[in-house]
Amino acid sequence: MRTKLTLAALALALAATPADAKELRFAFQGDADSMDPYTLNETFTLGFLGNVYEGLIRRGPDLSIEPALAVRWQIVAPDRWRFHLRRGVKFHEGEDFTADDVLFSADRVRAKGSDLTTRLAGVKEIVKIDDHTVEFVTEAPNPILHVEWGSWGMMSKSWAEKHNAATPEAMADDQEKYTTRHANGTGPFRLVSREAGIKAVAVPNPHWWDNANKEHNLTKITFTPIASDATRVAALLSGQVDMAYPIPVQDIGRIDRNPGTRMLVGPELRTIFLGMDQFRDELLYSDVKGRNPFKDRRVREAVYRAIDIEAIRRKVMRDLSNPSAMMVGPGINGFSADFKRLSHDPEWAKELLAAAGYGKGFEVGMDCPNDRYVNDEAICQAVVSMLARIGIRVKLNAQPKAKFFPKILAPRVDTSFHLLGWTPGSFDSWNPLYNLHGCPRLGGAGPIWPEGARDRISQGKVNLGGYCNPKVDALAARILSETDKAERDRLIKEAWSMTISDIAYIPLHQQALAWGVREGVTVAQRPDNQFAWRHVRVK
Amino acid sequence: MIALVIRRLLQSIVVMLAVALIGFTLFRYVGDPVAQMVGQETSLQERAELRERLGLNDAVAVQFGRYVGDIARGRFGISYAIDRPVADLIAERLPATLELSFVAALFALIAGIPMGVYTALHPTRLLTRVFLTISLIGISLPTFFIGILLILVFGVWLGLLPTFGRGAVVDLGLWTTGLLTASGWKSILMPAFTLGMFQLTLIMRLVRSEMLEVLRTDYIKFARARGLTDRAVNFGHALKNTLVPVITITGLQLGSIIAFAIITETVFQWPGMGLLFLQAIQFADIPVMASYLVLIALFFVVINLAVDILYHVVDPRLRIDRGVEAG
């Protein structure tokens, strides 16, 4: 059944003959929060806008870096990158794309109200050489300067200024920012309309620079956010959408069995892990007084060995997870299959606990989200029962993300044991080494998570267990500026060996992406869970 | 009459202030919006600045005072999640919710009254038992379950009706309506049925018991003794006297329909205020939540007022009492 959803659709159907109208209708559980590409650093929002806006580079279906608005680039000096811009590119509303737009976008992405300031972290200066050449000067050599630029879309200077949107900051006096509902990029699709939380419509850009090589055959894209899992699945099963994601694990079999639909399942980049408080002298929510069991590596190893990751994969994740020995998954630079998980061995775990002086076990509180990751609460419940077997009594506190994150993130860091997930936006190991493993302190030898100054922590800002190994910090600093690829990869591996042997965290798994598509529709499933319409073909 | 209206209006302001205050106190426990307004890479310092800028560090009393002051000046704030003025969002979503609620209420009335009359007139027939069983199901099954069941049967298995959304919508300027298009009507059938099912049951049972009551009274017996037709007795006299409480209940229930549309809207992805409210809760979007609660309180207050006035108009005894008092 192909119900025309809107009058706009009707108008379009009248304009084009039905035979060559190829509409993609898709549903996701949430909506893009804004059409301003710099307001929120979040996968779906950036992925949606990545179809409308383009960066200097773009990512292919396998996440490889491809030239986009820059045709090529070179490192002219260790701290100086030169980008040659594509000529003849126009924005959707007709403005020419030039170096001035790059400079403007750089200013805007670093302005107040931007959530993407890290895209240009460490960039000292941007120099316009001519209309189609720009140079980025960095404070220190940075071999991965451009890797996150696939989601830094170029905006038109004249357009943004005309609409009073030169910064991403919210307007005063209840005024709506123009860019909240309007977009003007150079990308393969242009936004036609958007009603937040209801619907967004886009059409192909007939003047796209890469139209000669285009893969897609779409004439229209209609996006509907459908929050309820059951409704989203029903919409796909009844053929009212061509693609829907995420599909809850319990419905995957049903979509595959249904003749008109099939599942696309692939590994995601996010790693789910357990964090343990290793900096407080006494655990929160625990009956152990005067000391902190998690400071003892044997206790951390006992927890690790108590967890039956295969049982979690089979029972909780229904085979849709990839147990991980590392804090990064395949697809992230620095991942190595050489690292293996510690074996599941509850008896050994009990011995380790006894050797550490906790033969009778101990009590600890655990924080867990219940609406953030795939089956997050169920994973925590499984962990609780597995730890109970070795005598660790866990009091689980599973909450919605709006309550969970403020509790456990800095400045409160009100947790001694938690489940969390992390995706390195740069697809590179430096990001988790720095954010999750760096010592969260100010200066070289200060206290970990200093009270009152936590807001100023940058290194290790999500290192909620306060793991601290100065050697890892030193390696991370070298990785950041090492420009020789082989040497850099060697340093990354060395750093991972250290954190893994320290048991800084207990990695659990990479969850699987679960996209449902209608038969006759081909899409490219990117491991970063971004949906690029330019790879879609509809029969 | 005017004194009554004025007195009620003054009470309403107190009620709405109380609702807003309770809402605001509860919001402290919903969570922190900042965690979702920014991505994982955002520095802690930027987060702290944002929290300060939104005034989230102030005491609840201060935030509440500021909110009431803003509303008094007609400013409902900017949604944290959608980054748009709350007043605009609600104005866009209101038609969908009201349309759904009215269609549901209308359905409940049009189906509920005849079913009630039938079951009262023919208490032993098979169809009566069928109706009573249906009404039992309607009262005992949770709304979301009925909705999902309908989606499965009519959307997925039979493929007759759309499973989500509002269909084609016509924009009339201030109002958007789905009732002018075929796809709009197709889309509203299942949500309206789901939402109206409980009310239908209520009305049917109410009409039935009232009707049974009335049929036993003397004047019905006299009417029959005078040789009036069944039709005149049942509909001209019995039903007419049954309808007064039905009007009251329906009016009062309209407020609940609008408020409880939240669940139906979620199941059918109906783009109304309930869906907006639910998304706002997940996001801890305080301006939207607060405005929604105040608006719903306003609906209840207005409907109650209207019902009160209607009562005075419909029930002659109340008017006589007043007349005696005045005299």
Question: pLDDT for A184-225, tens place per residue?
Answer: 999 999 999 998 888 999 999 999 999 999 999 999 999 999
Return the residue matching tokens 């980049």. A269
Q: Touching check for A33 and chain B: CB below 8 Å?
A: yes
Indicate whether B11 belongs to any domain: no
Give the CA distances from residue A155 to residues A108, A179, A260, in Å, rounded to whole numbers and listed in that order: 9, 11, 40
pLDDT at A8: 44
* Whether residue B40 sits in one domain with residue B102: no
Q: CA A89 to CA A132: how far, in whole Å? A: 11
* Whether residue B255 sits in one domain with residue B112: yes
| % residues pLDDT > 70 (chain A) | 96
- Are A18 and A505 a contacting pair, CB within 8 Å? no
Tens-digit pLDDT profile for residues A256-297? 999 999 999 988 899 999 999 999 999 999 999 999 999 999
The 3-state DSSP class for residue A398 equals strand
**B286: nearest CA in chain A?**
A402
Choice among A278-292, B25-39, B112-126, B229-243 with the minimum mean pLDDT: B25-39
**Across A350-364, A400-414, B34-48, which has the greatest mean pLDDT?**
A350-364
pLDDT at A13: 42
Q: Touching check for A405 and chain B: CB below 8 Å?
A: yes
Indicate whether B83 belongs to any domain: no
CB atoms within 10 A of CB A377: 18
B29, B44, B183 ranked by CB distance to A455: nearest? B44
Indicate whether B31 belongs to any domain: yes
Indicate whether B294 belongs to any domain: yes
- Are A109 and A152 a contacting pair, CB within 8 Å? yes
Give the CA distances from residue B204 to residues A405, B112, B199, in Å, rounded to whole numbers and listed in that order: 48, 4, 8
What is the value of ipTM here, to two decimals? 0.83
Tens-digit pLDDT profile for residues B48-104? 888 887 888 888 788 888 888 888 887 888 888 888 889 889 999 999 999 999 999
Return the residue matching tokens 């009594």. A393
- B43 with A461: Cβ contact below 8 A: yes
pLDDT at A429 over 90: yes
Q: What share of chain A is helix, strand, coil (3-state, %, to 5)?
A: 30, 25, 45
- B155 with A234: Cβ contact below 8 A: yes
Choice among A118-127, B56-65, B261-270 with the minimum mean pLDDT: B56-65
Q: Touching check for A260 and chain B: CB below 8 Å?
A: no
The mean per-residue pLDDT over the stretch B217-235 comes to 87
**B281: nearest CA in chain A?**
A402
Chain A residues with CB-CB distance to B38 below 8 A: 40-41, 115
- A7 with B167: Cβ contact below 8 A: no
The minimum CA-CA distance between A361 and chain B, rounded to whole Å, is: 33
pLDDT at B273 over 80: yes
pLDDT at A15: 44
Which among A40, A42, A66 has a CA at the least distance from the CA of A54? A66
pLDDT at B326: 42
For chain A, give the mean pLDDT. 91
* Whether residue B97 sits in one domain with residue B66: no
Q: CA A364 to CA A284: how far, in whole Å? A: 7
* Whether residue B291 sits in one domain with residue B234: yes
Q: CA B249 to CA B198: how far, in whole Å? A: 13
The mean per-residue pLDDT over the stretch B180-204 comes to 92
| Domain CATH for B251 | 1.10.3720.10
Tally of residues, chain B: 327
* Whether residue B207 sits in one domain with residue B106: yes
Tens-digit pLDDT profile for residues A9-21? 444 444 444 457 8
pLDDT band at A458 (very low <50, low <70, confident <90, very high): confident
pLDDT at A1 over 70: no
Tens-digit pLDDT profile for residues B139-164? 888 888 999 999 999 999 999 999 99
Q: Touching check for A282 and chain B: CB below 8 Å?
A: no
The minimum CA-CA distance between B214 and chain A, rounded to whole Å, is: 45
The mean per-residue pLDDT over the stretch A481-499 comes to 94
- A34 with B82: Cβ contact below 8 A: yes
Structural domain of residue B308, as residue ranges?
Answer: 90-318
More confident residue, A470 or A18: A470
| % residues pLDDT > 90 (chain A) | 76
- B87 with A40: Cβ contact below 8 A: no
Indicate whether B78 belongs to any domain: no
CB atoms within 10 A of CB A66: 10
Suggest the residue from A231, A257, A422 to mutate for an interface test with chain B (most B CBs closer than 10 A). A231
Indicate whether B327 belongs to any domain: no
pLDDT at A3 over 50: no
- In degrees and rounded to multiples of 5, residue B38 shows phi and psi of -130, 165
- B163 with A240: Cβ contact below 8 A: yes
Residues 6+ apart with CB under 8 A from A349: A301, A302, A303, A304, A305, A306, A390
Q: CA B265 to CA B258: how far, in whole Å? A: 11
| % residues pLDDT > 90 (chain B) | 29
Q: CA A254 to CA A260: how far, in whole Å? A: 11
Number of domains comprising chain B: 2
The whole-angstrom distance between residue A338's C-alpha and the CA centroid of its chain comes to: 25
Return the residue matching tokens 């209607």. B310
The mean per-residue pLDDT over the stretch B25-31 comes to 75
pLDDT at B192: 95
Indicate whether B77 belongs to any domain: no
Joined tokens for residue A485: 């690829």
Tens-digit pLDDT profile for residues A29-85? 988 888 999 988 888 999 999 999 999 999 999 899 999 999 999 999 989 999 999
pLDDT band at B318 (very low <50, low <70, confident <90, very high): low
Indicate whether B165 belongs to any domain: yes
A196, A199, A238 ranked by CB distance to B163: nearest? A238
More confident residue, B98 or B32: B98
Q: CA B192 to CA B188: how far, in whole Å? A: 6
* Whether residue B111 sits in one domain with residue B37: no
Residues 249-268 (B) with a CB less than 8 A from some CB of A? 266-268
Q: CA A415 to CA A284: how far, in whole Å? A: 7
For chain B, give the mean pLDDT. 85
Which among B93, B89, B87 has a CA at the least distance from the CA of B73? B87
- Are B161 and B167 a contacting pair, CB within 8 Å? no
pLDDT at A14: 43
Q: CA B34 to CA B48: how far, in whole Å? A: 9
Q: CA B137 to CA B141: how far, in whole Å? A: 6
Return the residue matching tokens 């419905």. A251
pLDDT band at A5 (very low <50, low <70, confident <90, very high): very low
pLDDT at B233 over 60: yes
B45, B76, B163 ranked by CB distance to A231: nearest? B163
Q: Touching check for A228 and chain B: CB below 8 Å?
A: yes
**B77: nearest CA in chain A?**
A174
* Whether residue B120 sits in one domain with residue B24: no
At residue A411, what is the residue type? P
Chain B residues with CB-CB distance to A40 below 8 A: 37-39
* Whether residue B208 sits in one domain with residue B181: yes
pLDDT at B284: 84
* Whether residue B189 sits in one domain with residue B134: yes
**B93: nearest CA in chain A?**
A198
* Whether residue B152 sits in one domain with residue B285: yes
Pairing of strands A133-138, A417-422: unpaired
B35, B44, B170 ranked by CB distance to A454: nearest? B44
- B39 with A42: Cβ contact below 8 A: yes
Q: pTM for this structure?
A: 0.86
Q: CA B24 to CA A203: how far, in whole Å? A: 42
Q: Touching check for A144 and chain B: CB below 8 Å?
A: no
* Whether residue B140 sits in one domain with residue B34: no
**Across A3-7, A303-307, B73-77, which has the greatest mean pLDDT?**
A303-307
Joined tokens for residue A176: 């709506």
At residue B171, what is the residue type? D
pLDDT at A162 over 90: yes
The whole-angstrom distance between residue A189's C-alpha and the CA centroid of its chain comes to: 23
Return the residue matching tokens 């790059």. A102
DSSP assignment of B110-139 = HHHHHHHHHHHH-TTSHHHHHHHHHHHHHH
Q: Touching check for B172 and chain A: CB below 8 Å?
A: no
Give the CA distances from residue A32 to residues A45, A115, A181, B81, in Å, rounded to whole numbers and listed in that order: 4, 14, 11, 10
* Whether residue B49 sits in one domain with residue B95: no
